[in-house]
Structure 1
Amino acid sequence: MAELNKEENVAQEDQLEETLENQESAEVEEELVDDQPEEDKDESLEAKYQQLEAEKTELFEKYLRLQAEYDNYRKRTQREKAADLTYKSQKLATELLPVIDNFERALQTSSDDEAVKSFFEGMEMIYRNLLTVLEAEGIEVIPAVGEAFDPTMHQAVMQVQDDQYDSNIVVEELQKGYRLKDRVLRPAMVKVNQ
């Protein structure tokens, strides 16, 4: 039993010596760190702070750019949707313009026959209904005769010399022009006074 106590004491002494050595080495390391000048510590902390500040600024700028791009995208899609709704009937109207022209040409013919007159009256009713539907969609005839020539709405195909009209005034309309709200679907073909 005495031998066991002796061995335990030796083990405890070894453990105590090891703990003391560890404490001493830690104290020496602390002294070495403490021996560094305060200025070096401040400079390294300042450098780390400046680096973190620069990273934060860069990330914030990226965030602002991303937010601005998203806002621009959102506004652009809203404008496109609004334009699509405003001009949704443009394609249909463009395709119907030759049909309207043909209706007008057919209605310009005349006949004394009673059966043909009733047929023309039916065609005229259909024509008026078609124009009413187009007007409901915002499609209207571009005014021409007697108006000042506007190259955005009129296409001059001839020039004439007429003393009854002022210069640059539309004298005759050769083909009707149409617009959808503020967009010209087809300019009016006109004769213009010089």
Structure 2
Amino acid sequence: MTTESNENKSAEEIAAEEIIAQAEEQVEEQHEHAHEAISEDQEKINELELALAAAQSTVADQKDSVIRAKAEVDNIRRRSAQDVEKARKFALEKFAGEMLTTVDNLERALQNIDKEDEKNKGIIEGIELTYQGLLASLEKFAIKAVDPQDQPFNPELHQAMSMQEVDGVAPNTVIAVMQKGYELNGRLIRPAMVMVSKAAPAVDTSA
């Protein structure tokens, strides 16, 4: 009876061991399948990360290209605007130079005509109207006269044609304007030709 019991226990143990072995095999297979699934998922993640990095690199390159292209367009626009401005200024300077000759001639005519002669009254009025109209037109184009009579001599705006001693007048004062100067948009295009006062020579009192 004891032998049968031992045999029965042995059979049960064998059966149990087989069940445990099968269970361990199933668990191990599940682990392997899970590991394979995880590996596949990780590979997909790696592929997606690489694709994302490549896309980000492409976007960065395209962004740099767009920025460079925009900067180049801005530079071209700025250079074009500068060229147009230079051309406009040159055209105005040329126009002003032509008109200033006419202004000078009208001023000389008014200075030299005999204003006391009644016969010249109509001529004087006509010259005056033409002269004032021309000055008004020049002012519309920001062309203004430099007339420094009785002002301190400024070498940046005036050209001294001669110097003369004048009693009661401080040295370096403009005592006569032989030809007015002109500015265009605040920039000198012709200096005023002037006569300037000078100091009297020092008197030697040692004798």
TM-score (norm 2): 0.56
The corresponding residue for 1:185 is 189
Partners of 1:113 and 1:169 in 2: CA distance? 35
Q: 1:115 to 1:143 in 2, by over 3 A?
A: closer
Match of 2:137 in 1: 133
Aligned-partner SS, 1:89: helix
Match of 2:152 in 1: 148
Residue in 1 that maps onto 2:77: 74
Could you tell me how far apart the structure 2 residues matched to 1:142 and 1:91 are?
A: 18
Residues 169 and 73 (structure 1 numbering): CA distance in 2 closer, same or farther, change over 3 Å? farther
User: 2:82 is aligned with what amino acid?
Assistant: R
Aligned pair in 2 of structure 1 residues 166, 122: CA closer, same or farther (>3 Å)? same
Task: Answer yes or no: is 1:176 the counterpart of 2:186.
Answer: no
Query: Amino acid of the residue matched to residue 120 of structure 1?
Result: I
The whole-number CA distance in structure 2 between the counterparts of 1:141 and 1:135 is 9
Structure 1 unaligned spans of 5+: 1-52
Residue 116 of structure 1 is matched in structure 2 by 120
Separation (CA, whole Å) in 1 of partners of 2:167 and 2:117: 41
Identity of counterpart residues, as a percentage?
35
- The CA distance in 1 between the partners of 2:58 and 2:167, in whole Å, is 78
Select 1:164's aligned residue among 164, 168, 177: 168
Distance 1:161 1:57 in 2: 76
Letter in structure 2 aligned against 1:109: N
Distance 1:58 1:156 in 2: 63
> What TM-score, normalized by structure 1, do the two folds share?
0.60
Write out aligned runs for 1:12-161 (5 A). 65-82=68-85, 84=87, 88-111=91-114, 112-161=116-165
Look up the equivalent residue of 1:149 and give its one-letter code.
F
Query: For the structure 1 residues 70 and 151, does the alpha-carbon distance in structure 2 shift closer, same or farther, using more than 3 Å as the test?
Result: farther
Distance of 1:145 and 1:151 partners within structure 2? 14
What is the root-mean-square deviation of aligned Cα atoms in Å? Answer: 3.9
- Unaligned segments of structure 2, at least 5 residues: 1-55, 199-207
* Alignment coverage as a number of residue pairs: 160
1:150 CA drift (Å)? 2.2
Q: What's the CA shift string for 1:54-99, capped at 9, x where partnerless?
A: 9999987776555433322212222343455567533222111111
Whose radius of gyration is greater, 1 or 2?
Answer: 2
Q: Name the amino acid aligned to 1:78.
A: A
